[in-house]
Structure 1
């Protein structure tokens, strides 16, 4: 199974032709996801657990396959690396509750580390064991990646983190 490069939706929002593939359901695998990431021109690595990860500056998105047979699940999970102090957790929860109510994906939740920092994780999943339509798989995966990027932008706006980012970009006083 292969994906026609012209069929990949772009990040500019213009509609693209749909992928041409098998007429029936397919069971996606890591090679298909690698092909899709290559065609989206996204860099990726395979981690020590064998999962694909696409790194960005402040987050990384994993493309994982879990389970077996008809219960196999494809999961796109984004780990946002920006640490938040534990005291900010109520505000974070309020913001991500708002996001989760307004959007389909990724569903975002918090993880509090032993050192007291809070980080966010976004996730979308699809049951793929019985097979899925190739068009549906491609469009869903692309949409999930776009939404993971959009969530980071949205959170920066919601929490007023633009100043923090602007300060990090300024040259230091020497």
Structure 2
């Protein structure tokens, strides 16, 4: 199976009618190769980690694309680990902010993880049951939306908490993948 580039949503510009382009007409069970192809078409750099998961690194966070479970119960998860450390003293303010985000948005759902040293980090996550198959267009649009929402959450949190960013140019480039 392959992804028709016209099926990648652009969220804003009008799109013409979609051609079949040889895409499967029924449900498909996505796999890592399909995700790699989608990331390539989105022009996102990625690596495969030691556990075999795909990861797209940005300057202040990493987004992982993971398949878990077996057969009919397989789940595809997009999980973003935000690298910016927060102090345990700031956790109440962070929780209030992410509760607001979680109420207002569908994804990613964000939660905190407190390390043994008291450092608080944030994790965003969206999941889809794929074991019984999904429509290719639904899978593609969901993954694109989840990636964009993960980037938007980082920008939103910086704004909400008044965090300073290291920005070389105007507009904040945290939406661009790392060049590593």
84, 87, 103: which one aligns with 2:86: 84
Task: Determine the C-alpha separation between the residues in 2 that align with 1:36 and 1:19.
Answer: 18
Instruction: Give the length in aligned residue pairs.
Output: 166
Structure 2 residue aligned with 1:39: 41
Which protein has the bigger helix share? 1
Higher relative contact order (CA 8 A, sep 6+): 2
Would the aligned equivalents of 2:7 and 2:140 in 1 still touch at CA under 8 Å?
no
Structure 1 residue aligned with 2:64: 62
In structure 1, the gaps of 5 or more residues are 170-174
Give SS of 2:165's match. helix
Task: Determine the C-alpha separation between the residues in 1 that align with 2:31 and 2:144.
Answer: 15
Per-residue deviation, 1:16: 4.3
Please give the root-mean-square deviation of Cα atoms over the aligned residues, in Å: 1.7
130, 133, 138: which one aligns with 2:132: 130
Give SS of 2:131's match. coil
Would the aligned equivalents of 1:111 and 1:121 in 2 still touch at CA under 8 Å?
yes
1:8 equivalent in alignment to 2:8: yes
Per-residue deviation, 1:5: 2.1
Per-residue deviation, 1:8: 1.7
Per-residue deviation, 1:165: 1.6
Alignment of 1:137-156 (within 5 A): 137-156=139-158
Alignment of 1:102-113 (within 5 A): 102-113=104-115
Q: TM-score, normalised by structure 1?
A: 0.90
Structure 1 residue aligned with 2:53: 51
Alignment of 1:112-127 (within 5 A): 112-127=114-129
Task: Determine the C-alpha separation between the residues in 1 that align with 2:68 and 2:26.
Answer: 22
In structure 2, the gaps of 5 or more residues are 169-180
Would the aligned equivalents of 1:8 and 1:19 in 2 still touch at CA under 8 Å?
no
Give SS of 1:61's match. strand
